[in-house]
Structure 1
Amino acid sequence: MNILVTGGAGFIGSHVVEKLLMEECHVVVIDNLSTGIRGHVPAGVKFIQMDICSEELLDVFTKERFDAVIHLAAQTMVPVSLNKPDYDCQVNLLGTVNILEACRKTGVKRVVFSSTAAVYGDVDNVPIVESAATRPTSFYGLSKFSVEKYLQMYQQIFGLEYVVLRYANVYGERQGDGGEGGVISIFTRKINQNEVLSVYGNGDQSRDFIYAGDVAAANYRALMTSHVNGIYNISTQTEVSVNQLIKILGQIAGREVQKQYCPVRQGDIYRSALSNQAAREKLGWQCEMLLVDGLARTYRDIRKGV
């Protein structure tokens, strides 16, 4: 299979590319390197530095003739989406439509789209199932949800297959400090430097933290599944509070962690954990990394890079 990975020089994208190479897929990466790092792309993989909004994108699709696209390139930070909703829309929505048009015009068979738990907003009952009401509390969540609707329309009108993966909070090696799962990257760096952690709220707010390698495996399963044109949560189905997270990280680092509590940030979700039953049953996927082991890997990676 000839696969395009947009955002393949980024945190999650680089893990996805590694997984595809393990499965002997031919991979091309497009990334504008606004947050991605060229060195994250494995040697031998064709890399094209380009913005997904570029008018030249169609030329790449015409030349390469991709079988499928894994679309990870995005603006992923909630605060940025609230401060610059026009920029968030340009990248996440208009950039994606540019990709979908290139897919339509060049005969791409399937798009695997990286969506987010942010489309659900604040939900009382967890773990959240895919059929739950969608009430995004940020423009980031709204733009991702809007793309899901575009994918459904492209399938209905043009026959383009899609698989939407709604990620919980992804973490792992090579993660930057931005994005939804960035709290782990921020905390591990600060703990390693013996700095005070800033906790927004009382620390009881929860997230569902999933390791990037498990997310990469889900993307591969989405390429191979016959259960297309659907939405799947990719998660551990487990709630972990910020306070619990700090305790585990402190144990891994073997030190007392200093923290300070700050006012809640606008747009932040209080509770989040996603049901992964549909992904297990339809995609044949399951998460394998235990949180404590994944956090230990992430912490070692942070220390190695210092």
Structure 2
Amino acid sequence: MDRVLITGGLGFLGSHLARELTGTAEILILDEGKSEERIMDIPGSLRVQKMGLTDPALKAAVKDFEPDTVFHLGAFTLPYREKSFLRTSMESNVFGTLSLLESLENIGVKSFVYASSSEVYGSANKAPFREDMVPRPTSPYSVGKLAGEHYCMLYHDTYGFPAAVLRLFNIYGPWQTPNRIIPELIVSCLKKQTFRMTKGEQTREFNYVKDIVRALIAATAEKATGEIINVGCGKGVAIKDVVANILSMMSNPINVEASLPYRDNEIWQMHSDSTKALKLLGWKSLYSIENGLQETVEWYRKRWNSNRSSICFGGV
């Protein structure tokens, strides 16, 4: 049985990946997060070590486990543009990634998958975004993610390290903390609270988390090594239409105030050209936005009825 290391495995995406791999691999999760709520219902045993990627104990933990496959999902993920986040992003997304790569030297890793972001393309490029476009990141988060990409490719090109980079486009699904528009709106409906947003004219693509997990696993194939690959459904949807879709699925529509200002340097259109993912990974999106939203809404409803203090409602 392969040994799989997942950084950020207590988070939204990492916990879904761990759930999918359980029973087929021995799994070690490295995460400095406090709550293990997302993995408590996963059958079998998961090893969890609470540490950040710049922790001096990282190298010993990695050497002791000797992973065959590494999924590097751990990161500072808030896309805010305030200068106060510059050093936080640098510490987590740049120094953390470099520390992890250094700790894996001489371990004999077969595959290393780095979760980057569509945010690296920025506002200077026009959708659909392709891998050959010049990135122009516009936030501390996206700058940090792009720097992490460069370190992964440096390790591959110069040191022969088996790294692959996936630029993931917007993800949603069960267990997502309500600091993103889809879970935030669903939770607002459940709490019967007014929801505030922009006019929602900007378009984004939304990918159901199960589709993204399949892409992560597919990227462990040898032909993905040394590649930067977009992962997304390729279909842009206006934010206001996603909001309308969710409201129609909820039994208690709420007041929506479209009064918030747009961000400076707003990215008006963001969707992917994922031709490369299909060609190299055999991957394409299977969930429509309607089907994915329906599963997500139903999950939050059930969770609301059973545990309203959950992290997916801003608790714990």
Classify the TM-score, shorter chain.
over 0.9
8 Å contact from structure 1 (residues 127, 272) kept in 2: yes
Kindly provide the CA deviation profile for residues 35-77 of structure 1, in whole angstroms up to 9, marking residues without a partner as x: xx31222241111111111010100111111112100000000
What corresponds to 2:147 in structure 1? 146
What corresponds to 1:237 in structure 2? 234
State the aligned residue count.
299
What corresponds to 1:27 in structure 2? 27
**Correspondent of 1:296 among 294, 297, 304:** 294
8 Å contact from structure 1 (residues 162, 228) kept in 2: yes
Give the secondary structure class of the aligned counterpart of 2:224.
coil
What corresponds to 1:115 in structure 2? 116
Amino acid paired to 1:286: K
Quote how far apart the aligned CAs of 1:269 are: 2.4
What corresponds to 1:287 in structure 2? 285
Give the secondary structure class of the aligned counterpart of 1:262.
coil
Q: CA–CA distance in 2 between the matches of 1:109 and 1:219?
A: 14
- Tell me the TM-score normalised to structure 2 length: 0.90
1:228 aligns with 2:229: no
What corresponds to 1:205 in structure 2? 202
Give the secondary structure class of the aligned counterpart of 1:127.
coil
Query: 142-151 vs 261-270, which deviates more?
Result: 261-270
Supply the RMSD in Å over aligned alpha carbons: 1.7
**Correspondent of 1:276 among 274, 277, 280:** 274
What corresponds to 2:77 in structure 1? 76
Identity over aligned pairs, percent: 25
Mind listing any 5+ residue stretches in structure 2 that lack a counterpart?
305-316
Give the secondary structure class of the aligned counterpart of 1:104.
coil
Mind listing any 5+ residue stretches in structure 1 that lack a counterpart?
none
Q: CA–CA distance in 1 between the matches of 2:82 and 2:287?
A: 31
Kindly provide the CA deviation profile for residues 257-304 of structure 1, in whole angstroms up to 9, marking residues without a partner as x: 421121123465222001111101101111111111111221122222
- Tell me the TM-score normalised to structure 1 length: 0.93
Quote how far apart the aligned CAs of 1:248 are: 0.4
Q: CA–CA distance in 1 between the matches of 2:83 and 2:218?
A: 33
8 Å contact from structure 1 (residues 112, 164) kept in 2: yes
Quote how far apart the aligned CAs of 1:152 are: 1.1
Q: CA–CA distance in 2 between the matches of 1:258 and 1:288?
A: 32
Compared CA separation, residues 103 and 211, structure 1 to 2 (3 A): same
Give the secondary structure class of the aligned counterpart of 1:26.
strand
Q: CA–CA distance in 1 between the matches of 2:206 and 2:194?
A: 22
Query: 105-114 vs 211-220, which deviates more?
Result: 105-114
What corresponds to 1:101 in structure 2? 102
